Structure 1
Amino acid sequence: MASDIHSVLVVTKDIKTSTLISAMLVPPMFDVILAEDFNEARRLCTERVFNIVIVDFADGEGTDFAVDISSCTSTILLLAPTQFFDQLSYRVEPYGILTITSPFDQFYFYNMIKIAIAVQYKVQVLSSQTIKLKEKMEEIRIVNRAKMLLMQNKEMSEQEAHRFLEKQAMDRSMKRIAVADEIIKTYS
């Protein structure tokens, strides 16, 4: 995973901030895209998944944008002015948004990027597990529906319907869900 390229969206109107971040997050480890306004950033977020999104406060507009996109799988870093740091941190933490004081020192920023990368790896693992669980739940739902149809139409018990599905899958070298789909099509 250490050789992965991390896609980063930086949303700021401040040239100094975007230049500094671009100078620190260099290829080949980082693929940095700059957006100067929030409408462009919203469009980019719908077109592509970013590992990390760095958002400038921008008189509060950045905070609203960060909260708006917080349901995506990106790790979001909000650059908060020092005087608003605590207030903004408390507001955005429930959305899983990390805050960094702005202006920031390079060592502090680098460490926050390392944290964001670690969080991103964890999010990817959890997302993968969630997808597998959803697929398994869908398979169970379909198999249960097929068993119900067998019980209604073939007057089988739940155990007999289960055994029938398992045996059909084994005898025909098919997955249980494929056999269940056939049964559903036959009796629906």
Structure 2
Amino acid sequence: MSAFCILVLSKSEQPTQILRELLPHDTYGSILFSSSIAQARRQLLARRVDLLIIDTPLKEESGIRFANEIAQRSSPGLLVLMNASLYHQLAARMEDAGIPVLAKPISRQALYQSVRLLCTLQQRIRRFEQETLVLQDKMQEIQTINQAKWLLVERYGYSEEQAHRHLLKQAMDRCVTKYAIAQQIVNKDKQGGSL
């Protein structure tokens, strides 16, 4: 696991102190504290945060509303701590929104295990996001190459096989990828130029 950054939003620094004591510093290098949503927003903008823990209730603002706002994003991971009385009223609705909730009082061990579990899940999500980006890039390449082939077929009378060979030959001759050649063909066509 790479070093995780955890942000604790709470009216008390106690959850932050507990996490700093329990979690290994080499894996959980940054455990930050915020006492207000405004301060938490600034910290979220300033750096990558892997897990946001919202310890409700907050002093002046609704931690539940903020949790719902954060849940709409893909990052960071989220954990809400709430009083047992509210837990029974809100937990199912929050979990339906993808927000894990723990009832307070919570044991140190339960907090520790929950944070470790959520960070592990965040690691997997991050890996899937990277794989998705790679697949999206590959799909973009395939679309551009196909678009260039069809331009060669429609505008220059190439057969599909000739268009494919043309892209390959140009790529080999210029020591670039087929995708780079396809991009040049598509861009020239957009600008009204010819090959």
Structure-1 residue corresponding to 2:7: 9
* Aligned twin of 2:48: 49
- The question of whether the paired residues in 2 share the 8 Å contact of 1:53 and 1:74 is answered with yes
Match of 1:157 in 2: 159
**Cα displacement (A) at 1:93:** 2.0
Aligned counterpart, 1:35: 34
Supply the distance in 1 between the matched residues of 2:125 and 2:63 (Cα, whole angstroms).
23
Q: What's the TM-score once normalised by structure 2's chain length?
A: 0.85
Q: Name 2:65's counterpart in structure 1.
A: 64
- Separation in 2, partners of 1:178, 1:69: 38
Q: Conserved in 1, the CA contact under 8 Å of 2:56 and 2:63?
A: yes
Per the TM alignment, residue 7 of structure 1 is displaced from its structure 2 partner at its CA by 0.4
Corresponding residue number in structure 2 for 1:100:
102
- In the alignment, which of 64, 82, 85 is matched to residue 80 of structure 1? 82
8 Å Cα contact 1:80-1:88 kept in structure 2: no
Calculate percent identity across the aligned residue pairs.
28
1:17-75 per-position Cα deviation (integer Å, ceiling 9, x unaligned): 34333433463332111111001111221222211111112268111111111213221
Q: Quick check: 1:73–1:123 contact (8 Å CA) kept in 2?
A: no
Structure 2 unaligned residues grouped into runs of 5+: 191-195
Amino acid at match of 2:44: C
8 Å contact kept, 1:139–1:177: yes
**1: CA distance between counterparts of 2:88 and 2:145?**
51
Residues 183 and 20 of structure 1: CA distance in aligned 2, closer, same or farther (over 3 Å): same
The CA RMSD measured in Å over matched residues stands at 2.0
TM-score, with structure 1 as normaliser: 0.88
CA separation in 1, counterparts of 2:176 and 2:79? 47
Structure 1 unaligned blocks of 5 or more: none
> In the alignment, is the contact (CA less than 8 A) between 1:169 and 1:175 conserved in 2?
yes
Q: Is the 8 A contact 2:16 2:32 kept in 1?
A: no
**2:127 pairs with one of 107, 125, 128:** 125
